[in-house]
Amino acid sequence: MKYKITLKRYETRGLIAFLPPDDEGAQERIRQVLRKCRDKNADFVTVTFETPHRPRTTGKDSQNSHAWGHCTQIARELGMELCEVEYIAKVRAIKRGYPVSLKLGIPVPYSQSNISVEECAALIEEYHQIAAENGIILTEA
On whether both 74 and 129 belong to a single domain, the answer is: yes
Distances (CA, A) of 121 to 13, 100, 134: 42, 15, 20
Asked whether 27 and 20 are in contact (CB, 8 A), the reply is yes
Residue 22, in any domain of the structure: yes
Residue 40, in any domain of the structure: yes
To 5 degrees, how large is the angle CA 102–CA 104–CA 108?
Answer: 40
On whether both 38 and 68 belong to a single domain, the answer is: no
Residue 128, in any domain of the structure: yes
Q: For residue 119, what is the enclosing H or E element? A: helix 117-133
Residue 47, in any domain of the structure: yes
Find the radius of gyration of the CA atoms of the chain. 19
Segment 34-62 shows an average pLDDT of 84
Res 48: pLDDT: 84
pLDDT digit string, tens, across residues 20-46: 888 888 889 899 999 999 999 999 998
pLDDT digit string, tens, across residues 63-87: 989 999 999 999 999 999 999 999 9
On whether both 88 and 29 belong to a single domain, the answer is: no
Number of domains in the chain: 2
Q: Which residue has the higher pLDDT, 26 or 15?
A: 15
Res 126: pLDDT: 97
Amino acid in the structure at residue 100: V
Residue 95, in any domain of the structure: yes
To the nearest whole percent, how much of the chain has pLDDT over 90?
A: 57
Residue 83, in any domain of the structure: yes
Q: Which residue has the higher pLDDT, 21 or 110?
A: 110
Its domain, for residue 117, covers 63-133
Res 76: pLDDT: 97
